[in-house]
């Protein structure tokens, strides 16, 4: 595997006077991908009509084939979307729900997606049912059992995060999908953090839908995300924007919803090549090991505890902040602002009656970053 950390920082345009330990929120696009995106934009603007009609359809499907091979799927089952929330909206807003139908979500589900579930339930009289994710020190067996226990004959869909955003848990996804299918419940996986964070094989997983961001761990351009739909579930699925392709089939509907800049999607292949150049699965394993080391370091430095270790831990980690006083959203936001002002981007979340800090480990990070993070966090805590 090539040298990483400081040795590859020249690959990005990040401000290295700022401590970047939050790759999980928005990613960071490397120079080679930005250059490829500019080339596509220049090609588009050289003659927009020709590009949209003669170049884009084939280029988009080629990008989908490259991405499909990377995530263990077929290109014909991959539609590009702007982000995972958009993909979740497409599935949820295509459902045909009746009063008292149920959608199961996780207690640690992503806020925007939970809001979408609330929206479709309020419109139809359906109900949102929550499966509890224990925290801290969760058990994969317990999480899978809690999802199974939340299912009922009225459950029309289970919405499951692959890697939770607020608590950084890599969930036992195959066990959860199998439990849902045993109850004849289809599964929508919110895989916002999945691609290039952990290995994926969507054919083996078997979930009906999986939507993921490529701008995070795969380092594609922002706005590059996908929705995988199993072939037997494509007929009644529609994008959130209905356009000229309505009724003509899955890809006709999703590939063209109106004029937009498709260049981010067309960088998927370059991002995949970059990922492999930095180590591929070895890079994923290295990031997880670094995150575990960093989480342990910070927990010791602050004399506190980590959120999860072992099989549920990935390339992000959680550390409880040793604070007295209220642990609420307002205080969490205030702490986040103080951390930004102090020169780092680590987010904070309220969980289990405490405020937790989330860190990420990306290719450009070294353990020294988290030693520095410990100094910054300790300084902010002293003022609180």
The two three-digit tokens of residue 145, written as one number: 């059992």
* Mean pLDDT over the full length of the chain: 97
pLDDT digits (tens, 9 = 90+) for 60-91: 999 999 999 999 999 999 999 999 999 999 99
Average pLDDT in the 199-209 region? 98
pLDDT digits (tens, 9 = 90+) for 27-64: 999 999 999 999 999 999 999 999 999 999 999 999 99
Query: Does the pLDDT of residue 142 top 90, yes or no?
Result: yes
pLDDT digits (tens, 9 = 90+) for 335-371: 999 999 999 999 999 999 999 999 999 999 999 999 9
**Is residue 1 very low, low, confident or very high in pLDDT (cuts 50, 70, 90)?**
low
Average pLDDT in the 195-214 region? 98
Exposed/middle/buried for 324, CB within 10 Å: 0-12, 13-18, 19+?
Answer: exposed
Domains and CATH numbers, the chain: 5-20+280-382 (3.90.1150.170), 34-274 (3.40.640.10)
Residue whose pair of structure tokens reads 């260049």 in the numeric block: 263
The two three-digit tokens of residue 115, written as one number: 């809001």
pTM for the structure as a whole:
0.96
**Is residue 384 very low, low, confident or very high in pLDDT (cuts 50, 70, 90)?**
confident
Query: Does the pLDDT of residue 197 top 90, yes or no?
Result: yes
Average pLDDT in the 103-131 region? 97
Percent pLDDT > 70 in the chain is 100
Residue 2 confidence (pLDDT): 74
Residue 294 confidence (pLDDT): 98
What is the spatial distance between Cα 289 and Cα 295, in angstroms, rounded to a whole number?
Answer: 10
Average pLDDT in the 8-16 region? 97
């Amino acid at each position: 595997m090539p040298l990483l950390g400081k040795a590859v920082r020249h690959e990005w345009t990040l401000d290295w006077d700022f401590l970047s330990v939050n790759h999980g929120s928005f990613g960071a696009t490397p120079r080679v991908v930005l250059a490829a995106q500019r080339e596509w934009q220049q090609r588009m603007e050289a003659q927009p009509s020709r590009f949209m009609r003669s170049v884009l359809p084939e280029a988009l499907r080629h990008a989908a084939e490259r991405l499909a091979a990377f995530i263990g799927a077929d290109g014909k089952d991959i539609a590009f979307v702007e982000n995972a929330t958009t993909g979740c909206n497409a599935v949820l807003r295509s459902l045909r729900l009746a009063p008292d139908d149920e959608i199961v979500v996780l207690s640690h589900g992503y806020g925007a997606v939970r809001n979408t579930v609330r929206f479709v339930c309020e419109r139809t009289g359906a109900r949102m049912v929550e499966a509890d994710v224990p925290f801290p020190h969760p058990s994969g067996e317990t999480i899978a059992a809690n999802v199974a226990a939340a299912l009922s004959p009225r459950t029309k869909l289970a919405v499951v995060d692959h890697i939770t955003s607020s608590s950084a848990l890599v969930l036992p996804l195959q066990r959860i999908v199998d439990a849902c299918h045993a109850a004849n419940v289809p599964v929508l996986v919110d895989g916002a953090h999945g691609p290039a964070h952990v290995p994926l094989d969507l054919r083996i997983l078997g979930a009906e839908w999986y939507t993921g961001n490529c701008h995070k761990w795969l380092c594609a351009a922002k706005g590059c995300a996908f929705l995988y739909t199993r072939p037997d579930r494509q007929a009644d699925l529609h994008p959130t924007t209905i356009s000229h392709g309505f009724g003509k089939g899955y890809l006709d509907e999703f590939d063209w919803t109106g004029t937009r800049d498709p260049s981010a999607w067309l960088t998927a292949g370059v991002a995949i090549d970059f990922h492999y150049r930095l180590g591929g699965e070895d890079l994923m394993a290295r990031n997880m090991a670094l995150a575990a080391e960093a989480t342990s370091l910070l927990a010791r430095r602050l004399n506190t505890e980590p959120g999860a270790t072992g099989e549920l831990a990935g390339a992000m980690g959680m550390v409880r902040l040793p604070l007295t006083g209220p642990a609420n959203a307002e205080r969490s936001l205030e702490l986040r602002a103080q951390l930004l002002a102090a020169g780092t981007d680590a987010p904070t979340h309220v969980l289990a009656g405490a405020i937790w800090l989330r860190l990420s480990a990306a290719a450009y990070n070294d353990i020294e970053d988290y030693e520095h993070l410990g100094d910054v966090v300790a300084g902010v805590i002293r003022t609180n």
